[in-house]
């Protein structure tokens, strides 16, 4: 069973729920090496996404994702807004016109999202940003998809990789974003953006698993 636009809508609802549940956690992480707003910002953003969805419920996956991206850009602010906003808009462009997404489409969307984040933020791997969670997830997914694996399998591997990438940010010294001002003091803390990225990828897995499909 491919991912349908209903699944995409479910996914955005799931993300909104998960971000809401992790609002304080993300903000705490941002307190340690940032300015204590990442959870608050992301939550405001995805609540706004939910509001905007009703007008595009019957549209293709690309339109839905682009709408979500625009909603994020105009409500999150900070670094997270342009980065995640661009990610969703680029993902939407990658699957423009489609109502059903196969594993290869998902991969294309995630690859486009990552490219968008890097284009906008210019972070390199190891800079202690969301890029450190998304990049390994995209790599893992690509490997599964290129070997003909299922969507579920691809998302499982991607989630594992994102989780590892997220945890790997702990010992890193930040070189981008607000945490970079802390220099050595940024070491030993998990990056909030990498954490939200993991949550966003894990939410895809939850949706896929919820469909009980292979």
Partner 1 sequence: MKKLINKPDDVVKEELEGIALAYPDLVKIHYEPNFVYRADAPIKGKVGLISGGGSGHEPMHGGFVGMGMLDAACPGEVFTSPTPDQMAEAAKMVDGGAGILYIVKNYTGDVMNFEMAADMLRAEGIAVQNILIDDDVAVKDSLYTAGRRGVGTTVLAEKICGAAAEKGYDLQKLSDLCRKVNINGRSMGMALTSCIVPAAGKPTFDLGENEMEIGIGIHGEPGQERMALKPVDEITEMLALNIIEDEAYTRTVREWDFGKEEWADVELVDPPFQKGDQVLAFVNSMGGTPDIELPIIYRKLYEICEKKGLTIVRNLIGAYITSLEMQGCSITLLKMDDELIELWDAPVKTIGLRWKA
| Residue 180 exposed, middle or buried by CB count within 10 Å (0-12, 13-18, 19+) | middle
Residue 75 touching partner 1 (CB under 8 A):
yes
State the binding partner of 136 from partner 1, ligand ADP, Mg ion, none, CB within 5 to 8 A by kind: none
The footprint of partner 1 on residues 32-61 (CB under 8 A) is: 32-37, 40-41, 44
Question: Least CB distance from residue 38 to Mg ion, whole Å?
Answer: 5
CA–CA distance, 130 with 58 (Å, rounded to integer): 31
121 contacts partner 1 (rule: CB under 8 A): yes
Residues 28-57 that bind ligand ADP (CB under 6 A): 30, 34-35, 37-38, 41
How many whole angstroms separate alpha carbon 68 and alpha carbon 19? 15
Half-sphere exposure of 167 (CA within 13 A, CB side): 5
Instruction: Tell me the closest approach of the beta carbon of residue 70 to partner 1, in angstroms.
Output: 9
27 interacts with, out of ligand ADP, partner 1, Mg ion, none, CB within 5 to 8 A per kind: partner 1
CB–CB of 52/45 below 8 Å?
no
Q: Name the residues that contact Mg ion, by CB under 5 A.
A: 30, 34-35, 37-38, 78
Cβ distance to partner 1 smaller for residue 76 or 141 = 76
* Alpha carbon distance 203, 3 (integer Å): 13
Per CB under 6 A, contacts with ligand ADP among 133-172 are: none
Cα distance between residue 28 and residue 54, in whole Å: 32
């Amino acid at each position: 069973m491919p991912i349908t636009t209903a699944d995409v809508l479910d996914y955005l609802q799931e993300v909104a729920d998960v971000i809401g549940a992790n609002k304080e956690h993300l903000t705490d992480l941002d307190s340690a090496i940032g300015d204590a707003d990442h959870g608050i910002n992301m939550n405001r953003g995805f609540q706004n996404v939910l509001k905007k969805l009703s007008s595009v419920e019957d549209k293709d996956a690309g339109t839905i994702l682009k709408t979500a991206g625009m909603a994020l850009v105009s409500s999150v602010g900070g670094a997270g807004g342009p980065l995640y906003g661009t990610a969703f808009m680029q993902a939407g462009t990658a699957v423009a016109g489609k109502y059903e997404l196969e594993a290869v489409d998902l991969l294309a969307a995630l690859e486009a999202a990552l490219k968008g984040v890097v284009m906008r933020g210019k972070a390199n791997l190891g800079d202690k940003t969301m890029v450190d969670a998304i990049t390994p997830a995209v790599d893992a997914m690509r490997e599964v998809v290129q070997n003909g694996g299922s969507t579920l399998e691809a998302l499982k591997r991607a989630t594992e990789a994102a989780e590892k990438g997220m945890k790997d940010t702990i010992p890193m010294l930040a070189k981008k974003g607000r945490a970079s001002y802390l220099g050595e003091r940024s070491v030993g803390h998990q990056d909030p953006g990498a954490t939200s990225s993991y949550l966003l990828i894990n939410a895809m897995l939850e949706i896929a698993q919820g469909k009980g499909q292979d």
